[in-house]
Amino acid sequence: MNAISLRVQHAFPGFALDVDLQLPGRGVTVLFGHSGSGKTTLLRCVAGLERAADARIEVNGNCWQAADRFTPTWQREIGYVFQEASLFPHLDVCGNLAFGMKRAGATVHQDEIRVMAARFGIEHLLGRKPDGLSGGERQRVAIARALLTRPRLLLMDEPLSALDHARKQEILPYLERLHDELDIPVLYVTHQIEEAARLADHLVLLEAGRVVLSAPLTEALSRLDSPLARDHDAGVVVPTQVLGHDEAWHLTHLGFAGGEIQVSQRALHVGQAVRVRILARDISIALSGDNASSIQNRFACAVTGIAPAEDPAQCLVALDVKGVALLARITRLSAERLGLVVGKPVWAQVKAVALLD
């Protein structure tokens, strides 16, 4: 179901934005790219903060811009979270939260504000002025403020980039919860692959104002022709579920479509959904599965593709484990010696798994 349709053409001084996208009407779409790729400009066009010369913007049946129409920002049912929290300094937290809610036509119920504040852990700050809040608290207020307008689309422009590492880790869990609970689509701009890996369902890669790739996250990260595959930190994201814990060996078992992954024991509930990231450089390939090895995470799979890597000594190997795509980066010499060809059954040995939680 493609419910967000963006066609935007505009020449700005120094670069041109030329984008034609069909995006899912649910879940988190990450607009990914370097600074200057046009991702923030595209987001601002969707919000109506920037008026592209030629654009057609449709979100879940609402046309916000076309040749003969331009809906001003204040009439678009969006929530927008800016890079800096941009709270109104003359209002306290409660006043900030109520600002958009009032104007969105909702009657202001203190209860609703309190519930939303509790959801973001800011209920003890309601009477405080923004000056006295930490960066992380401010950004949580900003997100709650945007959601209280009951938007049909949430736009987030690098909401974590102005925060230090600790503050980011403080906010990410809230964003992941949003991802699970929200039933409206989210467009999320970032240049951090880790944020994309944790939050995205769909990924759009922008370069110099053009779309290089638009695909579901797992596909975007595992495709050999994706520019992301050639990155030093290339790797796939695999959705898993916690199966159980092995108390004796302090391990946690995660299940995915292709089998089971063991990781060091973590405080996770059985049944909890967890995304793991497996880097291409952390996968080695063997021809048999029973050779003695210290590596426990081994999967029988088939080679689905081979492509040159950035380093001329290396190549990228695409693998398929019962429908789950993995990406391995090995030396070309190894590939040659193992006789890797498309369709060959091999074993993937996973040396390291990063839990995204």
For residue 72, the minimal CB distance to another protein (Å) is: 7
> Which strands, in side-by-side order, build the sheet including 202-207?
69-70, 62-66, 54-59, 2-12, 15-24, 210-216, 202-207, 28-32, 186-190, 153-157, 78-81
Q: Which is nearer to another protein, 120 or 347 (CB)?
A: 120
Q: Which is nearer to another protein, 39 or 275 (CB)?
A: 39
Q: Which is nearer to another protein, 145 or 198 (CB)?
A: 145
Amino acid making up residue 108: V
Q: Which is nearer to another protein, 48 or 258 (CB)?
A: 48
Nearest Cα neighbor of 32 from 163, 165, 193, 226 is 193
Q: Which residues contact 230 (CB under 8 A, 6 or more apart)?
A: 309, 310, 316
Nearest Cα neighbor of 98 from 84, 114, 82 is 114
User: What is the number of helices (H) and of strands (E) in the chain?
Assistant: 8, 21
For residue 8, the minimal CB distance to another protein (Å) is: 18
Q: Which is nearer to another protein, 78 or 326 (CB)?
A: 78
Cβ-count burial 109-138 (b if 16+ within 10 Å, e if not): eeebbeebbebbebeebbeebbeebebbbb
Contacts with another protein, residue ranges (CB under 8 A) = 47-49, 72-75, 78-80, 82, 84, 86, 88-90, 99-100, 103-104, 145-146, 149
Instruction: Return the number of other C-beta atoms located less than 10 Å from residue 19's C-beta.
Output: 23
Burial of 231 (0-12, 13-18, 19+ CB in 10 A): middle
CA–CA dist 259, 214 (Å, integer): 28
For residue 127, the minimal CB distance to another protein (Å) is: 18
> Which value, in Å, is the radius of gyration of the alpha carbons in the chain?
23
For residue 95, the minimal CB distance to another protein (Å) is: 10
Q: Which is nearer to another protein, 148 or 283 (CB)?
A: 148
For residue 207, the minimal CB distance to another protein (Å) is: 26
Q: Which is nearer to another protein, 59 or 78 (CB)?
A: 78
For residue 104, the minimal CB distance to another protein (Å) is: 5
Q: Which is nearer to another protein, 14 or 323 (CB)?
A: 14
Amino acid making up residue 152: R
CA–CA dist 221, 70 (Å, integer): 36
Nearest Cα neighbor of 260 from 325, 357, 356, 350 is 350
For residue 81, the minimal CB distance to another protein (Å) is: 9
For residue 239, the minimal CB distance to another protein (Å) is: 32
